Amino acid sequence: MNRCELTEAIRDAKRAKGLGWNEICRKINPKASPVLLTAALLGQMPLEKGEAKKAEQILGLPKGSAALLAEIPNRGSLPSVPPTDPTIYRFYELIQVYGTTWKELIHEEFGDGIMSAIDFEMKMERLPDPKGDRVKITMSGKFLPYKRY
């Protein structure tokens, strides 16, 4: 089984067991970020060995899946750029519209550098609103200055 096939097996098991991502993540490791664990289950991050074993058991995955879940993956899962999925496209659109603004404001506040996507945390919340619930995404990445020498 390759990683793409394992991702499909994970999606199939999730569906067959009637589980949500947050529920699966809590069972794997209640202390870990559900964003990170979901990304790992979808093939974008590695799980720790113990987490991978739990995922294999919880989802009833084929024996040996844990080893694949613990491997460092080839990241990047968009089948096309720009993305065609409407939800993913909205993030792409945010970068197109606000990317240069974020860059300017980061550089003004911190100097010449980047926000790390490695030393990084992200949280998603649902905010009830009478006009329609809102999605709140909080991202926090370590600032990494460019070195001159």
Annotated catalytic residue 108: no
Q: How far is CA 30 from CA 24, 26, 85, 142, in A?
A: 9, 4, 30, 24
Residue of 8, 104, 116, 140 marked active site: 116
Beta bridge partner(s), residue 44: none
Catalytic residue among 11, 71, 75, 90: 90
80 is catalytic: no
Which of 5, 8, 71, 93 is the catalytic position? 93
Distance CA 125, CA 26 (A): 16
Written as one string, the DSSP assignment of 57-112 is HHHTPPTTHHHHHTSPP-----SSSS--SHHHHHHHHHHHHHHHHHHHHHHHHH-S
Three-state secondary structure call for residue 3 = helix
| 41 backbone dihedrals φ, ψ, rounded to 5° | -65, -25
Return the active site residues.
Answer: 90, 93, 116
